[in-house]
Amino acid sequence: MCTFFSRFGAMLSALGVLAGTHLGVGVRHYAALNVALMLVWLALVAAVAREHKRRLPELS
């Protein structure tokens, strides 16, 4: 099942690049989008970690 999601993610990435090339998006815009998505991902990870620490006493 892990292989499916890995391949699906690669396909979505390729479709994003294909759409961007048809729209004329440059390398700088791809880099900016990549940084923005990374920041969103890190914020999500921080929120999950904070919630986990909050619920940790309930689990024991």
Q: What is the pLDDT of residue 59?
A: 73
Domain ranges, ordered by start, for the chain: 2-59
Q: What is the pLDDT of residue 57?
A: 82
Cα–Cα distance measured from residue 27 to residue 43, given in angstroms and rounded to the nearest whole number: 24
Phi then psi for residue 43, to 5 deg, are: -65, -40
CA distances to 12, 35, 43, 60 from 9, rounded to whole Å, are 5, 18, 20, 36
pLDDT at 2 over 90: no
Phi then psi for residue 26, to 5 deg, are: -90, 175
Reported confidence tier of residue 1, pLDDT bands at 50, 70, 90: confident
Cβ contacts of residue 30 below 8 Å, gap of 6+? 17, 20
Q: What is the pLDDT of residue 46?
A: 98
- Per-residue pLDDT tens for 4-58? 999 998 999 999 889 989 999 899 998 998 899 999 999 999 999 999 999 988 7
